[in-house]
Amino acid sequence: MSYCLGIRLDAGLVFLSDSRTNAGIDSVATFRKTFLFDDAEDRVLVLLSAGNLAITQAVITLLTERLAETDTGRSLYGAATMFDAARIVGSVLREVHDQDGDALAAQGVEFAATFILGGQIRGEPMRLFHIYSAGNFIEASRETPYFQIGETKYGKPILERVLRPEMPLLDAAKCGLVSFDSTIRANLSVGAPFDLTICLGDAYTVTMRRTFGAGDAYLERLGRVWGNGLRTLFLTLPNPDWADTLDAAQEAAASTAAEARRAAEA
Amino acid sequence: MSYCLGIRLDAGLVFLSDSRTNAGIDSVATFRKTFLFDDAEDRVLVLLSAGNLAITQAVITLLTERLAETDTGRSLYGAATMFDAARIVGSVLREVHDQDGDALAAQGVEFAATFILGGQIRGEPMRLFHIYSAGNFIEASRETPYFQIGETKYGKPILERVLRPEMPLLDAAKCGLVSFDSTIRANLSVGAPFDLTICLGDAYTVTMRRTFGAGDAYLERLGRVWGNGLRTLFLTLPNPDWADTLDAAQEAAASTAAEARRAAEA
């Protein structure tokens, strides 16, 4: 399992990915899920991957091999728009499906690979896409400013409550890290190190990268403050009007029990 | 989809279930997922169901039909222990599988039905079980004092952070309601009304039942206070040591952009 998150804010793009995989014996470092395409001056592209590792690695490899090609329909550095770039990723995914799909199906293995593609190409605003296993895709909007892939559910409530397009990049990064913290507490197949990538609007380069290892001091502090805060917040929640009824029932039960004890002792 | 939750505290048992189903045109009221077996003086049993409605209804019907039987291996009112009661539920589920499993498989429908069974039979402490589609089951412990079935993920983080066996029944009920609030915000297939059932230890009866309809004033207030509290808590989270680096990068980008504007205007 994986967990990746891409957020499109007014100020820029924020990406987070875990690096754990169930594929077995290889080293964790081999399975980073954030891939940067930032060697061209007029653009920055960030690709996050989830799903079958053989499929996602094949897609990344083919995309990378074709960067130098001049065919604008094949090279991410040749694409005129982010929409075209998303189409290239989708079309490479379909190529891998044509190549491996039947063999995987024969083994009962689902063809599962999803991507988040975000970035900016000069002449356009920043854009963010969610690419499905079939190679089709959707784009983020102001109403839905983020996409998740992989193990998305545990970490979703905090995103829904907090993320807004107009919030500062730092806050979105912190919100994403809290979402990852909630996820790793519930699902062991999502794990550190986490890769954080931030791209400012109109910078056409990666503004900041940070990797958070297991036991990272800031991440631990964030999780601790959040957890303690949740418990404190919980204590401030209002009581329902049936709280008294429940109290009375408990008192009645306690006095019945005490009476029974006295009767037994007498 | 469904969402049901059972919690075993030192003081008693707390159960919550939604009542939405994807089965279509019938009325929501038909699809309550909390079933009480509390007509015997020496016991109280509460059963929550999730999964294929035809399967769960068949199980509940057979269990209900057999309550008057004298065979202790078939009647929930005859079972000597909660473990035996869980076995009865599992065995009825296997009966339904024997009856319907092949026909469902032929239609490509998964045989999916899970149950939470909690209660107390005189002579035993309160016990809580999670019964799987295969009819096998596990029991809650002090370390894992709750079970969820159905759409479990969105609502799990708050349970993990807050639930403790020694907490008051009212707090556990509120924690459960917050968990339901998080779930319905993320998954439309989980919905009100919600059934809350509370059983005090050694009472051998249902202590309290409450139903929360869509738009219930307390539930809305709980969700609002929780949501606002989360956003306030979020603002108190510590900043990382790279916050300054990100600030500096944003300032540099802003001044570069201003310079470019001045150059363009000159």
∠ CA B231-B235-B238, nearest 5°, is 135
**Overall residue count recorded for chain B in this entry:** 266
Whether residues A186 and B257 touch (CB distance < 8 A) is answered with no
First to last CA, chain A: 63
Chain A neighbors of B198, CB-CB under 8 A: 246
The residue among B236, B157, B153 whose CA lies nearest residue A221 is B236
pLDDT tens per residue, chain A (266 residues)? 789 999 999 999 999 999 877 655 444 445 789 999 999 999 999 999 999 989 999 999 999 999 999 888 999 999 999 999 999 999 999 999 999 999 999 998 899 999 999 999 999 999 999 999 999 999 999 989 999 999 898 899 899 989 999 999 999 999 999 999 989 887 777 788 899 999 999 999 999 999 998 889 999 999 999 999 999 999 999 999 999 999 999 898 888 878 888 888 87
* pLDDT at site A32: 84
Dist. CA B183–CA B191, nearest whole Å:
9
Q: Which of B1, B120, B225, B233 to mutate to test the interface with A (most CBs of A within 10 A)?
A: B233
Whether residues A249 and B160 touch (CB distance < 8 A) is answered with no
Mean pLDDT of chain A, nearest integer = 91
Amino acid (1-letter code) at residue B67: L
Dist. CA A158–CA A12, nearest whole Å:
20
Which residues, listed in sequence order, are joined to residue A13 by a DSSP beta bridge?
Answer: A8, A199
Dist. CA A28–CA A136, nearest whole Å:
29
The residue among B120, B64, B112 whose CA lies nearest residue B88 is B64
Residue labelled with tokens 């539920």 = B89
Distance from CA of A74 to the nearest CA of B (A): 31
Q: What percentage of residues in chain B have a pLDDT greater than 70?
A: 97
In the 3-class helix/strand/coil scheme, how is A190-216 assigned residue by residue?
CCCCEEEEEEECCCCCCCEEEEECCCC
Chain B neighbors of A225, CB-CB under 8 A: 236-238
Give the pLDDT confidence of B224-245 residue by residue, as tens digits: 999 999 999 999 999 999 999 9
* pLDDT at site A22: 63
> What is the three-class DSSP state of A230?
helix
Give the pLDDT confidence of B89-108 residue by residue, as tens digits: 999 999 999 999 999 999 99
Identify the burial level of A248 via C-beta atoms within 10 angstroms of its C-beta, where 0-12 means exposed, 13-18 middle and 19 or more buried.
exposed
Report the side by side order of strands in the sheet with A113-121. Answer: A34-37, A43-51, A113-121, A127-131, A137-139
Whether residues B225 and A245 touch (CB distance < 8 A) is answered with no
Q: Which of B156, B207, B247 sits opposite A249 (nearest CB)?
A: B207
Residue labelled with tokens 């958070």 = A212
Domains and CATH numbers, chain A: 3-231 (3.60.20.10)
Whether residues B174 and A226 touch (CB distance < 8 A) is answered with no
Report the side by side order of strands in the sheet with B34-37. Answer: B34-37, B43-51, B113-121, B127-131, B137-139
Closest alpha carbon within chain B to A182 = B157
Contact B137/B129 with Cβ under 8 angstroms?
Answer: yes
* pLDDT at site B23: 54
Question: Where is A99: in which H helix or E strand?
Answer: helix A82-106
In the 3-class helix/strand/coil scheme, how is A14-71 assigned residue by residue?
EEEECCCCCCCCCCHHHHCCEEEECCCCCEEEEEEEEECHHHHHHHHHHHHHCCCCCC
Dist. CA A230–CA A127, nearest whole Å:
33
Contact A72/A15 with Cβ under 8 angstroms?
Answer: no
Q: Which of B199, B226, B235, B241 to mutate to test the interface with A (most CBs of A within 10 A)?
A: B226
Dist. CA B262–CA B254, nearest whole Å:
12
Chain A neighbors of B240, CB-CB under 8 A: 174, 210, 218
Question: Where is A118: in which H helix or E strand?
Answer: strand A113-121
Give the pLDDT confidence of A4-42 residue by residue, as tens digits: 999 999 999 999 999 877 655 444 445 789 999 999 999
Q: What percentage of residues in chain B have a pLDDT greater than 90?
A: 75
Q: Is the ipTM of this complex over 0.85?
A: no
Contact A147/A140 with Cβ under 8 angstroms?
Answer: yes
Identify the burial level of A39 via C-beta atoms within 10 angstroms of its C-beta, where 0-12 means exposed, 13-18 middle and 19 or more buried.
exposed
Is the pLDDT confidence value at B209 over 70? yes
* pLDDT at site A23: 53
What token pair was written down for B258? 């201003």
Cut 0.90: pTM above it: no
In the 3-class helix/strand/coil scheme, how is chain B assigned residue by residue?
CCEEEEEECCCEEEEEECCCCCCCCCCHHHHCCEEEECCCCCEEEEEEEEECHHHHHHHHHHHHHCCCCCCCCCCCCCCCCHHHHHHHHHHHHHHHHHHHHHHHHHCCCCCCEEEEEEEEECCCCCEEEEECCCCCEEECCCCCCEEEEECCCCCHHHHHHHCCCCCCHHHHHHHHHHHHHHHHHHCCCCCCCEEEEEEECCCCCCCEEEEECCCCHHHHHHHHHHHHHHHHHHHCCCCCCCHHHHHHHHHHHHHHHHHHHHHHHC
* pLDDT at site A185: 81
Average pLDDT estimate for B142-171: 93
CB atoms within 10 A of CB A213: 11
Whether residues A253 and B11 touch (CB distance < 8 A) is answered with no
Mean pLDDT of chain B, nearest integer = 91
Dist. CA A255–CA B203, nearest whole Å:
12
Chain B neighbors of A202, CB-CB under 8 A: 253, 257
Give the DSSP letter of residue A237: S
Q: Which of A120, A159, A161 to mutate to test the interface with B (most CBs of B within 10 A)?
A: A161
Contact A165/A9 with Cβ under 8 angstroms?
Answer: yes
Dist. CA B121–CA B77, nearest whole Å:
9
Distance from CA of A20 to the nearest CA of B (A): 19
Distance from CA of B254 to the nearest CA of A (A): 10
Give the DSSP letter of residue A150: E
Is the pLDDT confidence value at B198 over 70? yes
